[in-house]
Chain A
Amino acid sequence: MALFALRRLLLSIPLLLGITFISYVVIGLAPGGPLDFLTPEDPNASPEVKERLIKEFGLDRPVYEQYWQWLKRAVRLDFGRSFLPDGRPVLTKIGERLPITLFLNLIELAIIVGLAIPIGVLSATRQYSLYDKITTIFVFVGFATPDFWLALLLMILFSVQLGWLPISGLRSLNWEYLSFWQQQWDFFSHLVLPIVVATFGGLAGFSRYMRQSMLEVVRQDYVQTARAKGLSERVVISKHALRNALLPVITILALALPGLIGGSVIIESIFAIPGMGQLMVQSVFSRDYPVVMGNLVIVATLTLVANLVADVTYGLVDPRIRFGGRRGRR
């Protein structure tokens, strides 16, 4: 078991290297360079600034050399400074955006899981019932409704028309002058709409998963046996079926981990939340290589860890899986 985890961990290292290298090459190949932003399309811009910056950023050297330079610093967790005029360290830029994204995503995930499990279980135990149909349609409507559309509609209703909730941002402008509890309420009220929109959109995945998992378990022999033994349906479901149906959910939860730090661009820009999604898109669009790479490394590492955690926990809760064998989950 420990051996298995260790082996996977060691395997992750070349994978991570591969990912960063490919990313580096892909960004380098993508047309347009960072300097086209510092030397804008304006009659008064000076072209020689570009030459200067090309040298300073080392963009005149071959890609593999640039990558090597980057890698040497990256292993010491030094991701350099942003190419943008603010020139701030990459880790600072990521660090100031990570907390809010993480916070929002954790809340969303908690709500989604909290709602999806009962929805999924109930619609599985009452397959083809009216309840099943309604929840099925409900979650898919959420899945298919464009985020920005729902967001703007809710803003118009709750903020512009009713005036109950603030429209955008994280805090009111007079936040510093509010009492502690007012501050908490203020912060919370800013988060309600983004969380509602994101939760509605994300419900489908989990609840359908849960429903499917449950359907599968209900048909298994041991559940049938439990039923045959005359146990009440309630007991059968909660004691036997649910527990087993939840097993794969753990995997999914672990796999959702890296998603926690990648914010949603659409929700963030509509609600003016300074999160990771916006940072990533902005840095890709402005070819801010150091920030893009820093971001990628973090996401990739988390994903690898999450994969590992998923495998290990799955193995722990489901002893049928033998480690090291190819016949595992994947």
Chain B
Amino acid sequence: MAAKGAPRGELRQFWRTFSRNQLAMCGGAVVTVLVLLAVLAPLLAPWDPHRPDTKKILNPPSSKHWLGTDPLGRDVLSRVLYGSRVSLAVGFVSVGIAAAIGVLLGAAAGYHGGVVDNVVMRLVDLMLVFPRFFLLLAVLAFLKPSIWTIMTVIGLTGWMGVARLVRAEFLTLREREFVVWSESVGAGVLRIIFRHILPNAIAPILVAMTLGIPAAILTEAGLSFLGLGVQPPYATWGNILNDGRDYIEIAWWMTLYPGLAILITVLSYNLVGEGIRDALDPRLRQSRIGRIIRLGR
């Protein structure tokens, strides 16, 4: 445990525990399928997802349009498939950004302590105190709305959890023998951080990221509700759902399918994330993870 990196045995132990968790395994399988669907969307989609056809407005599911059509006569199945690319991309990229910022700042704070720590933690406080929604609105109004803006903004406003997590991890790890030893033999700061401490902190970061992806997807859906999501005609699950909002009664397929897609995705990522955490077991302290879950919503 005190060695650098994760030794083989530990990995095998992890896998044994993880694979015993049926829910997590199911989640993993679904996540894989979802990613495949997203990648293969252009091959699978039966129709052009952007081309309106005003003769087919809100047609119910049929043999031609398995999931029906939307208020502009576009095929819902094709849009959900294409939407999965955007939604998943939003999930991955924004979490990537959040994780990068969080790890960097958290590591700096945890390793250096003192003034650096104080500044970073005040920044975290500030970001947490700032209503996230307001921040999203302000930034989105400021930047040109595009898929990249959305990803960036969700990422920029979601790194605080990871930063706290990493900082706490670093605080504990930097006192460990192997770090103290590395320092004493004169290893560089970056080397210590990246070679010795970070690999040991990678597990909780991974969990946080897995749990962050569905949260980002939901955030995008919420932004779509306010009309601040990805620009048309590009489909995301959030904006397909939003397009169908006023027609729930006469066009259930418009909201049911993208809604199910979100639900399945969020569920599977969460199951996988929790599975990983459960398998990693006691090294993780609950309070941090709890905060991640809470911040995700």
A, B from the same assembly: yes
Where the two chains meet, the residues of A that have a C-beta atom closer than 8 Å to any C-beta of B are 15, 18-19, 22-23, 26-27, 29-32, 127-128, 133, 136-137, 140-141, 143-146, 148-149, 152-153, 156, 201-202, 204-205, 208-209, 212-213, 215-216, 219, 248, 251-252, 255, 258, 262, 265-266, 280-281, 284-285, 292, 296, 299-300, 303-304, 307, 326-327, 329-330
Contacts of B296 in A (CB 8 A): 205
Min CB distance A64 to B, Å, is 18
Residue pair B141, A23 in contact (C-beta under 8 Å): no
Residue pair A146, B241 in contact (C-beta under 8 Å): yes
Flag whether B129 is at the interface (Cβ < 8 A): yes
Contact of A262 among B131, B137, B221 (CB under 8 A): B131
14 A-B pairs whose Cβ atoms sit less than 8 Å apart in the complex? A29-B142, A32-B141, A128-B20, A201-B297, A204-B297, A208-B293, A213-B290, A262-B131, A266-B222, A285-B137, A296-B131, A296-B134, A304-B125, A329-B287
Residue pair A303, B245 in contact (C-beta under 8 Å): no
In the bound complex, how far is the Cα of B157 from the Cα of A24, in angstroms?
18
Flag whether B21 is at the interface (Cβ < 8 A): yes
Where the two chains meet, the residues of B that have a C-beta atom closer than 8 Å to any C-beta of A are 20-23, 113, 117, 121-122, 125-126, 128-131, 133-135, 137-138, 141-142, 164, 167-168, 171, 214, 218, 221-222, 225-226, 241, 245, 248-249, 255, 259, 262-263, 265-267, 270-271, 274, 277-278, 281-282, 285-287, 289-290, 293-294, 296-297
Contact of B141 among A30, A153, A252, A300 (CB under 8 A): A30
Residue pair B171, A19 in contact (C-beta under 8 Å): no
Residue pair B267, A248 in contact (C-beta under 8 Å): no
In the bound complex, how far is the Cα of B151 from the Cα of A132, in angstroms?
34
Most chain B CB within 10 A, of A141, A149, A201, A292, is at A149
Q: Which residue of B lies closest to A140 (CB)?
A: B267
Residue pair B293, A326 in contact (C-beta under 8 Å): no
In the bound complex, how far is the Cα of B294 from the Cα of A202, in angstroms?
9
Residue pair A136, B271 in contact (C-beta under 8 Å): yes
Residue pair A156, B248 in contact (C-beta under 8 Å): yes
Decide: A266 near B218, CB < 8 A? Known: A202-B297, A252-B294, A330-B121: no
Q: Which residue of B lies closest to A156 (CB)?
A: B249
Residue pair B142, A216 in contact (C-beta under 8 Å): no
Contact of B248 among A136, A145, A152, A303 (CB under 8 A): A152
In the bound complex, how far is the Cα of B214 from the Cα of A327, in angstroms?
32
Min CB distance A209 to B, Å, is 4
Contacts of A219 in B (CB 8 A): 281-282
Min CB distance A272 to B, Å, is 15
Residue pair A326, B267 in contact (C-beta under 8 Å): no
Q: Which residue of A lies closest to B262 (CB)?
A: A144
Q: Which residue of B lies closest to A127 (CB)?
A: B278
Residue pair B164, A300 in contact (C-beta under 8 Å): no
Q: Which residue of A lies closest to B137 (CB)?
A: A284
Contacts of B281 in A (CB 8 A): 219
Residue pair A133, B218 in contact (C-beta under 8 Å): no
Decide: A146 near B290, CB < 8 A? Known: A30-B142, A137-B267, A156-B248: no
Residue pair B226, A281 in contact (C-beta under 8 Å): yes
Q: Which 5 A-B pairs have the closest CB atoms?
A: A144-B266, A209-B290, A144-B263, A303-B129, A216-B286
Decide: A144 near B218, CB < 8 A? Known: A205-B294, A262-B131: yes
